[in-house]
Structure 1
Amino acid sequence: MALLGGTIALLIYVIIIVLVFKLVKSAIKTLLIAILLFGIILAGTTYFVVKDLKDMQENFPDQPKLILLGDGEKLLAGFTAVDITSDNLRYLSDEELSKLSNYYVEEDYDTLLDINYKFFLFNLSMYDEVIAEGVEIQDIGESLVYLSGEKLTEALYSNNPIDTILNIVVDKIVEGQLESIPNSDQLTDEMIEELKNQVIENAKAELANTSPGQLKAMLLSLMLKEKIEKEGPSSIFMDLKNDEFKVYPETAVFKLIKFTPSRFIEGITSKMNI
């Protein structure tokens, strides 16, 4: 009986060793497969990222980009440019924006892209800080006029943003003219109103060739410049990561940014003095 018991114990021990060996072997095999797959994915990702970086280095600086501002499914403004921070921008007309809106709703991004290298669709919420502080716009002369966030938003949604802007600009111009007129405090309300109407007519003549869509696009370009100036270009990377804007085509570099930890992005951009 003792011999039988010892034999059974030995058999159980051998079975356990075999099972453990198989489990370890299976785990090692699984680990090796996982490492191999990870290596393949990493190599593939690296290849596409490097390829994309090379393509962007060659084409991004010299090719036109389409910049759009949207809120949900509604496109509010847009412009095209080679250098989006320059003054050499082509503002989209109302007709162009309406056509692009249809392509956007239908998700026909290739047609929306057209001849442009890429298009960027910025969400209005991306500019919350800029809107909160308001912006300064140049009036008909050389002076600057403050446009509050409320008025800025109103203009972007308005079918006639020119009137929204003019009401603010004209008041500023009239105020300046009154200061230069001797004894202006003796002018009647009717005379001041007549002066204001004259300024409005002159301002509308200046903006005769500017459509509502083009004026909104001007505001968008101003907002973008304000954002970059105040928050830094690195904020754009964070907005992309937080899905505050869409890029099309969304190639490897942009996909990688979305999966990169925020601290890493901040560290890299700070070292690059971006």
Structure 2
Amino acid sequence: MSLLTTIIILAVIIIIGLIIFKVTKAVAKTIFYTTTIIGIAGLVFAFLIYQDASDFRENFPTKPSMLLLESEEQILAGIEGRFSEASEPTLIGYDQLQDIKTGYKEDNMDTVRGDNYKVFIFSLNSFEAGSIDIGEDTLSKEQAETLLLSDSPIDDYADIVLKDQDDGYKEQFKQQLKKNIKDGAEFKAILFSSLFSEQTEKTGSLFILDEYSKGNIEIYPETIIFKLMKRVPSSILSRLVKTKEV
């Protein structure tokens, strides 16, 4: 082999080596940058989750929230209050409910929310209670749904619970109800509150988490922890809730 050939071969080897080195260096640099970016993004994401969870843990027990009942994209009733406390919720009456309906229809959730910390919008289909108690009377779920969809729920309620009574007695009962209950919206709020209480007593905290993951409950503002919960299987949520309760 001539000296020239040897020099050429060595030169080619050196060039190939330099190319491999540069490519390897570039790949290593890319991997390093990618890993660094992913790591930083992961830390930021974890911080946002922690911050959101801390905010919810701190504010939900102390600030009022609103619960609304919806069917076919129509708001039927609402209550508001501090639901972490053993206190009676505030019933949403006709005037306030009309403003809420308008805001919801226009997709203006800030108007709907008002001064509340969170808004939970429950689909009527999310409730599975067999019956609810209203005072001394018991209504089936079907009867409750009929009243919630009615334009005259107080009158219809009297007709249901006093179906065997004469019209005069029914009329007296209706007038007495209307003295104690401001309007039909407040009566529907009572029905909604009873449905909610019955369901949570039956299934506990899992009711909200399970129905939310199914898409039967809307939450506004829907922050990061709630968006993540939608991706968690209900079986895992169930185990987490049971573990916490124990």
Q: TM-score, normalised by structure 2?
A: 0.81
- Of 192, 200, 204, which residue of structure 2 is paired with 1:220? 192
Between the aligned partners of 1:238 and 1:20, the Cα distance in structure 2 is 55
Between the aligned partners of 1:18 and 1:265, the Cα distance in structure 2 is 55
1:206 maps to a residue whose letter is: Q
Between the aligned partners of 1:241 and 1:28, the Cα distance in structure 2 is 41
CA RMSD of aligned residues (A): 3.2
Between the aligned partners of 1:199 and 1:18, the Cα distance in structure 2 is 101
* 2:211 matched residue in structure 1: 239
1:254 maps to a residue whose letter is: F
Between the aligned partners of 2:161 and 2:211, the Cα distance in structure 1 is 32
* 2:111 matched residue in structure 1: 111
* 1:93 matched residue in structure 2: 93
Between 1:70-79 and 1:36-45, the stretch displaced more is 36-45
* 2:65 matched residue in structure 1: 65
* 2:43 matched residue in structure 1: 43
Between the aligned partners of 1:93 and 1:233, the Cα distance in structure 2 is 27
Between the aligned partners of 2:172 and 2:117, the Cα distance in structure 1 is 39
- Residue identity (%): 29
Aligned-partner SS, 1:207: helix
Cα distance change on mapping 1:31 and 1:161 into 2, 3 Å: farther
Unaligned runs of 5+ in 1: 175-194
Does the 8 A contact of 1:45 with 1:252 survive in 2?
no
Between the aligned partners of 1:116 and 1:107, the Cα distance in structure 2 is 17
Please tell me whether residue 230 in structure 1 is matched to residue 202 in structure 2. Answer: yes
Please tell me whether residue 203 in structure 1 is matched to residue 173 in structure 2. Answer: yes
Query: How far off its partner does 1:104 sit?
Result: 0.9
- Structure 2 counterparts to residues 35-184 of structure 1, below 5 A: 35-83=35-83, 86=86, 88-127=88-127, 129-130=128-129, 134-139=130-135, 142=136, 144-147=137-140, 149-171=141-163
Aligned residues between the structures: 243
Aligned-partner SS, 1:259: coil
Cα distance change on mapping 1:48 and 1:24 into 2, 3 Å: same
Between the aligned partners of 1:235 and 1:18, the Cα distance in structure 2 is 64
Cα distance change on mapping 1:84 and 1:153 into 2, 3 Å: farther
Q: Note the alpha carbon deviations across 1:45-98, whole angstroms, 9 max, x for none.
A: 222222223222332112111111112431111111112774511111122211
Please tell me whether residue 264 in structure 1 is matched to residue 228 in structure 2. Answer: no
Between the aligned partners of 1:27 and 1:202, the Cα distance in structure 2 is 85
1:146 maps to a residue whose letter is: L
Cα distance change on mapping 1:207 and 1:87 into 2, 3 Å: farther
Q: TM-score, normalised by structure 1?
A: 0.74
- Of 224, 227, 245, which residue of structure 2 is paired with 1:252? 224
Query: How far off its partner does 1:22 sit?
Result: 6.4
Aligned-partner SS, 2:145: helix
2:223 maps to a residue whose letter is: T
